[in-house]
Structures are given as C-alpha cells and as structure tokens.
Chains A and B, each alone.
Chain A
C-alpha cells in the first residue's frame, strides 16, 4: 500500500460488498479501484530501471533498419531516456556493457562530457569502453 492510500480514511476505501448495487454504482466502484491502482503505481513512480528498459525496448523496435544516428537520437523513446537524466546513466552504462549500442549521444546530452577519444570514432566497442571507464571513474558503476 502506498503512502497516499495509507492516509485515506477507512470509510473511503472501496469495499467488496456489492450485492444489490446498481450497474452505475458498480462502474463507480471500478473507477474508484482504478484510481487507487494509479495512485499506487503511476507511470512517473515506476522505477528508473523499469522505465529505461521499456524506453530502450521501444526505441530498438521503432528505429527499424536505420543507419542514421540523428534519426535514432530524435526518436521519442530515446528522448525519454535522455529526460530521465543522471539517474539513467548507470542503466545506460550497464546496457553498453552487455553490447555496444548508440547511447553515446544520450550520455553526452545527460552528462555534458564526451570521453570518446578521436581515434575511437565509429568503433562501437571502443566508444562503449570509453564510456564504461568514465562511468567507473565517476562512480556510476559502483
């Protein structure tokens, strides 16, 4: 039970005694339950790791077969990852440790730095490695 529902007075919490209630009352009861569920687990209160995983999966699906880095970065789900801010950095770095992917512009947008050396340009593994080393040095991978 969330802090919000825990503070609700007992008499306002939904009850299961529905015998004899009208369809309209039942609909209101259903809406009341839905409101409680939303109070417990709204989108904005889902953990960052879960939101990152969902946005990343949607991004990978929606980018299709593009080679365009700018198209990948402008994707709505990619921008949602950027909007998660520094809280997303450990999950992005963990994702890069699994396999290189195009998280480099997101990491630069979030952190304001770019640890990729010029000689690593375009080398996906070397680019990922540069960010992972940076993450370790900055304490994102403790």
Chain B
C-alpha cells in the first residue's frame, strides 16, 4: 500500500509524519505485533490465536485480559515511563476493539496495519481514522527479555 492510501484511511497522517517500516505481510496483525509476536494472527475468532484461558468475546475487557497474560496492566496515558513499555488499545465509536500500537523508546509508536505494512507514527496520527481512538493504555515493566522493544518476535 502506498503512503497516500494509508493517509486516506487515517486523515491525521496528512499532518503528522509517519514511516513505513516493513513490507506487507498477512502473517501477523496489529495485536500480535503489539505483543511482539510476528508469527501469528491474534483475534478472538475461532481458529485464530488467542491467549489460552482468555474469553473470546470481542470487547475491550478481553483484549486487556489478553495483554494481561503478557504482564501488562492498565495505565493512565501514553507518556514515556523509564523502565516500562506501553501498548495503546484502540476502539471504535461502539467501543469495539480495532487496533493495538506499541510504544518505542523514543516515545513514538509502531503499528501493523491489517494485512499490510508496519508503520512508525504518533498516536495522534492514527486516531480519528479507521481505528477510532485510543480506549486504553497498558504498561508493563521492561525485563531483559523485553528490553529491546524494536525486536519483533516474542
């Protein structure tokens, strides 16, 4: 997908810079990418990956519960906090989860766009488009295993 196609779905990216940081791939999605898993498509639908023992109802609480299995807990905002890494869960106007983005050490965010590319962006840039707005920020302590948030695989 071209940058202009991405901007057509996320109008605020016309006013704030973003970088395409990977080729297109259907292998993983935004939820998996935020969870640092680039081998699977995470979604609470039959036959798709969803953490064991987490309810497969499609709502914000189950998405928060899915990230809780990785040590994440709710937090107030997306500001950079030393020693923590953060995830932003997006939801549409009906409150249905649509997307997850992962914070980079710089304070910018990285996202996988559906079946397409990864991008580096601001939270503002991705809000107000196809994904709606951020509904919940999550954070977890950085460990030696997760110390390099630029890494892709879990």
Contact = CB atoms under 8 A, between A and B. Distances in A.
A124 B99 CA distance: 19
Contact of A121 (B31, B48, B97, B115): B48
Interface in B37-67: 39-43, 45-50, 58
Q: Which size bracket describes the interface of A in this complex?
A: 20 to 34
A68 interface: yes
Mostly helix, strand, loop or mixed at chain A's interface?
Answer: loop
A110 interface: no
Interface residue SS majority, chain B: loop
A99 B26 CA distance: 9
A124 B114 contact: no
Nearest to A101: B26
B21 to A, nearest CB: 15
Contacts of A135: none
B16 interface: no
A96 B115 CA distance: 14
A68 B98 contact: yes
Interface stretch (A22-30, A37-45, A58-66, A81-89): A58-66
Q: Counting chain A CB atoms within 10 Å of each CB, which of B26, B29, B45, B58 scores highest?
A: B45
19 contacts: A63-B114, A65-B9, A65-B116, A66-B98, A67-B112, A68-B43, A69-B45, A69-B48, A70-B43, A70-B58, A101-B26, A108-B46, A114-B47, A116-B47, A121-B50, A122-B50, A124-B26, A124-B40, A125-B27
